[in-house]
Amino acid sequence: MPFARAREARYRATKKGREAHNRSTRNYNKKRRAHPGGRMEMKHEKIAAVWGKHLVSWFVSQPPHCKICGPEILYNKYAQRKKKSGPNEKELAIDHDHRWTKEDFKNNPKLKPRGLLCHKHNRGLGHFNDSIEEIERALEYLREKEKSNS
């Protein structure tokens, strides 16, 4: 057995071996993404890798709706991706206070994200840099425009 593992390691170190390994990994992940259980496993693995293992249970316990949209609109926490890259509009994102990095969440199990947001609201808050003052100025601007149009 040790001989076979050593031979496999030597083969994988070659260009042809890396290509074969990458091809088999892509096929394996494609099959996993094809059914909900595999998508759920992959999402949990990604959360554990990026945010820390303790946040997987937090993610599972969250209701499947955006904290801003409200419970009227339900989202799929394990949505199937239709594009090769980029966010999925039907997928919920983990929203966190940007004073803390993802490494801080990984290293401190007591830190929890703010909640789950839809793609639109998560991006919107990001554009306001989590600044309450900027959001209040935007609200004031919208109220002024609403009054002038009435």
Distance in Å from the first CA to the final CA of the chain: 80
Count of domains in the chain? 1
Supply the pLDDT for residue 77: 82
Strand-pairing partners, residue 65, are: 74
pLDDT digits (tens, 9 = 90+) for 67-102: 998 888 888 888 776 655 566 677 888 998 888 888
12 in a structural domain: no
pLDDT, the chain, mean: 87
Per-residue pLDDT at 40 exceeds 70: yes
CATH of the domain at 124: 3.40.1800
Q: Which domain range does residue 93 map to?
A: 52-149
